[in-house]
Amino acid sequence: MTRKWIEYLTGPLEQKKQYRHDVARIKALPEPYATAAQAVHRYLLACGGITDGDTMVRMFADLADLWEQAAADGTSVRGIVGDDPVDFADTFVQAYGGERWVDKERARLTQAIDDAARRQDGNEAG
């Protein structure tokens, strides 16, 4: 009962365990991969805007996989992110189709404007 209540408030505990595991994988990378992967991770948390927990967990697992493979292969940091790390991160997050917070806000804005326009049209007709 308590677990169900906690998960209702915070999301599934398995997602949190997987997320923590993937963060630990990123932190365990050798330098400079750890620094670069942590920077991308931080950016994705702040700017990725994904609201779906399953999508986020999958994305961060894939991010850890990417950087682990790059470290194992000896691929340079620039070989991964290119010259524009923001473009890399934005493109990376676009591969995950989960709902983003901006989608919700766009829908709220559209609905508010539609409602306001309907009220205005109703007032002008009378």
pTM for the model stands at 0.76
pLDDT in tens, 15-57: 899 999 999 999 999 999 999 999 999 999 988 888 888 899 9
Contacts of 95 (CB under 8 A, 6+ apart): none
Question: What is the C-alpha separation between 72 and 81, in angstroms, rounded?
Answer: 16
Domains of the chain (ranges, CATH numbers): 2-100 (1.10.1900.10)
- pLDDT tens column, 57-115: 999 999 999 999 999 999 999 999 999 999 999 999 999 876 777 888 888 999 999 99
